[in-house]
Amino acid sequence: MANTFWADVDRHVLRYGGGFTPEIIDRAEGSHVVTEDGRRILDFTSGQMSAILGHGHPEIVATVREGVARLDHLYSGMLSRPVVELSRRLAGTLPEPLEKVLLLSTGAESNEAAIRLAKLVTGKFEIVSFSRSWHGMTQAAVNATYSASRHGYGPAVPGNIAIPTPNPYRPDFLTAGGELDWRRQLDHAFDLVDAQSVGSLAACIVEPIISSGGLIVPPEGYLAALRAKCREREMLLILDEAQTGLCRTGDWYAFQSSGVVPDILTLSKTLGAGLPLAAVITSAEIEERAHERGFLFYTTHVSDPLVAAVGNTVLDVLERDDMAARVRTSGAQLREGLEKLHTKHEIVGDVRGRGLLQGIELVIDRETKRGSDALGGWVTRRCLELGLHMNVVQLPGMGGVFRIAPPLTSTEEELAEGLRILDQALTEAPLAEFA
């Protein structure tokens, strides 16, 4: 049966990225996925960084069952109570003036809408984003994405400009003490932006923690300084919290610790807890200006009631269980365990992240910080063999960076088990093969 399955994969499934995990997944429950032959694998990626309440959460299941039977999908111009309620409640979790909400399906779609909104409102078209960014695979989103290969797809949309990613572990501008001089880096970045711009800077879109680009946390003060650069140029600031929003980092939103409020916020992944739900949130002033200019973003599943009902249930659980506080506790446990691995294993070059979105970067040599894609791949495969699913980011100039994002509902025992398996895989890594 398994041979037939993989033969069908080879013959009929269009490949859309890296290789497929060599397991046939039969079901998922809580913090685990279960293979067809009954093997339980601890899920340290929350599916695609999305299932923040674990798999098959009973309240989500109940909401879906009721919603499918009662109110699943409507014409795009029709509104329902779950949609309006979720919009109101999301606005209630955010600082002023963020209060106008558009509900969509995916992160790419929400970033597409945010960029389209920014272009219409400003009357300009140039978009700035990080050199390690990932914002999605639709047109505007993919053209603001630089962490994935851009080769082979023809010319990018004019007006997209990359700025250096502020990576404290691999600094390009140095202080006298050898640390990242992010202020000088940011000044240089916008000197280059100004040199390339044709005078039509519309917006800057960034993640408050750069996830797919290597789990990089910008230095304290960076986002505020970036916002000031935007204000000087009358650009809007879009924050993409696809992976960081809704308690993942120990705050409801990662931007809260920066003191910065974006002009436009995008949510996805975590909002639907594994179901396709996304949001664009902005101010009444921006929404009014966009409406006056005829803002258009009809999609088949805009304002769908079923997933909106799921979003309301997600908020119910996060609020009732004080999930932000729980994540601060479990995040501290995860960080302590990762720091112990850093002390024990020379190949762990760096530990970074916040809450239950953390990462380790593997290196062959701590002094030179030389990485190895092959090492990261080996550790990933060994973890899977031992019962732990991990995601490794492999980008040019970096080694393997593991993004660790278990469900927010993970128990102490599950986090400890994941750390134990990772420890074993690192211990067994045949370093001589990668030196």
Query: From the candidates 233, 378, 403, 414, which is the catalytic residue?
Result: 403
Determine whether 252 is an active site residue.
no
Q: Around Cβ 35, how many Cβ atoms within 10 Å? A: 14
Query: From the candidates 181, 207, 251, 263, which is the catalytic residue?
Result: 207
Determine whether 369 is an active site residue.
no
Token duo for residue 171: 């600094």
Radius of gyration of the chain measured on its C-alpha atoms? 22
Query: From the candidates 126, 240, 251, 263, which is the catalytic residue?
Result: 240
Query: From the candidates 100, 134, 233, 354, which is the catalytic residue?
Result: 134
Determine whether 361 is an active site residue.
no
Query: From the candidates 227, 243, 287, 350, which is the catalytic residue?
Result: 243
Within 8 A by CB and 6+ apart from 72, the residues are: 304, 305, 306
Burial 59-78, CB ≥16 within 10 A → b, else e: ebeebbeebeeebeebeeee
- Which stretch of DSSP H or E encloses residue 435? none
Structure-token match 């699943």, residue found: 72
Determine whether 403 is an active site residue.
yes
Phi, psi of 401 (to 5 degrees): -115, 115
Q: Contact 253/281 with Cβ under 8 angstroms?
A: no
CA dist 117 and 128 (Å) reads: 15
Q: What is the DSSP string of 395-415?
A: -TT--EEEEE---TT--HHHH
CA dist 284 and 396 (Å) reads: 41
Within 8 A by CB and 6+ apart from 33, the residues are: 25, 27, 40, 41, 43, 55, 389
List beta partners, residue 102.
Answer: 280
Determine whether 269 is an active site residue.
yes
Would you give the DSSP letter of residue 218? P
Q: Is 369 helix (H, G, I), strand (E, B) or coil?
A: coil
Token duo for residue 221: 């003060």
Determine whether 240 is an active site residue.
yes
Closest among 352, 353, 398 to 375, alpha carbons compared: 398
Token duo for residue 104: 């969509």
Token duo for residue 148: 């994935």
Query: From the candidates 119, 269, 326, 354, which is the catalytic residue?
Result: 269
Count Cα atoms within 13 angstroms, Cβ side, for 118.
32
Catalytic residues: 134, 207, 240, 243, 269, 403
